[in-house]
Amino acid sequence: MTRVLRPWLILLFITCGLAESVHAEERLIPLKKGDRILFLGDSITQSGDDIDTGYVRLIRRRLAEKHADFGIEVLGAGISGNTVPDLQARLERDVLAKKPTIVVIYIGINDVWHRQRDQGGTSPEAFATGLNDVISRCTAAGARVVLCTPTMIGEKKNGANVLDRPLDQYADISRDLAQKHQLPLCDLRKTFVDYQQDNNRNDVEQGLLTSDQVHLNDAGNRLVAETVLKIFER
């Protein structure tokens, strides 16, 4: 299915030519010996490397078990409250200086959530141009990039959460950028929405995949880990 780009993305991409026909969801990154995988994001990623059941630690253990001879290093670079402009500001220090061979970008929740809470946030236009900048600088440094869509703010089904519409808009921006840059896409937004549709029988606001409508519980961390690993191990 052909995706229609929003107006500001058309302006952003006008000089970049046509994206290849392979859908971003179908692209893979084969692992290599000596790969250094860095997970860049907000508090979800920070927690993902801080707690034993976090998704970064789950991925680290899985790759160590299945690819012990590869010597793969897995790094976490999540900071609570981060938005796309925050990633831009710290990219050199926290990412490029560590010379990763693969960067997994998982961002967007605070860009949406903080706008709703009058704590700043990021406009759709700034989100698109900022995320494009982060991707471009990572690829220019020689890293392969995996782009993730934001997950959820509230677990109700059928678009019933207050911020479902803007989250879908920002997820679409990430999807378009993955297509434009010909990157693998880890569509966590779709994965989480589909999970709620199939499993949230009582239409609860939290508790299935999140502890507070945003931050992941153990089940949510497992789902993220399983979805990301498909990019490497499908």
Domains and CATH numbers, the chain: 32-233 (3.40.50.1110)
Mean pLDDT score of the chain, rounded to an integer? 91
pLDDT higher than 60, residue 10 = no
Which amino acid, one-letter code, is at 22?
A: V
Contact call for residues 212 and 43 (beta carbons, < 8 A): no
pLDDT higher than 70, residue 3 = no
Helix (H, G, I), strand (E, B) or coil at 155: coil
Contact call for residues 182 and 146 (beta carbons, < 8 A): no
Quote the DSSP letter at residue 234. -
Give the whole-angstrom CA distance, residue 17 versus residue 46: 36
pLDDT higher than 80, residue 8 = no
Q: Smallest Cα–Cα separation from 77: which of 98, 101, 51?
A: 98
189, with CB counted inside 10 A (0-12, 13-18, 19+), is buried
pLDDT higher than 90, residue 109 = yes
Q: What percentage of the chain reaches a pLDDT higher than 90?
A: 85
Give the whole-angstrom CA distance, residue 163 versus residue 152: 8
Predicted local distance difference test score (pLDDT) of residue 138: 98
pLDDT (tens digit per residue) in 111-156: 999 987 777 789 999 999 999 999 999 999 999 999 999 999 999 9
Predicted local distance difference test score (pLDDT) of residue 112: 97
Tell me the C-alpha to C-alpha distance, in Å, between residue 159 and each of 17, 181, 187. 34, 29, 17
Going 173 to 182 to 215 to 220, the CA torsion angle's sign is: positive
The model's pTM is: 0.89
Which amino acid, one-letter code, is at 70?
A: F
Instruction: List the structure tokens of 118.
Output: 């009058």
Average pLDDT over residues 199-203: 96
pLDDT (tens digit per residue) in 14-26: 444 444 446 777 7
Helix (H, G, I), strand (E, B) or coil at 102: strand
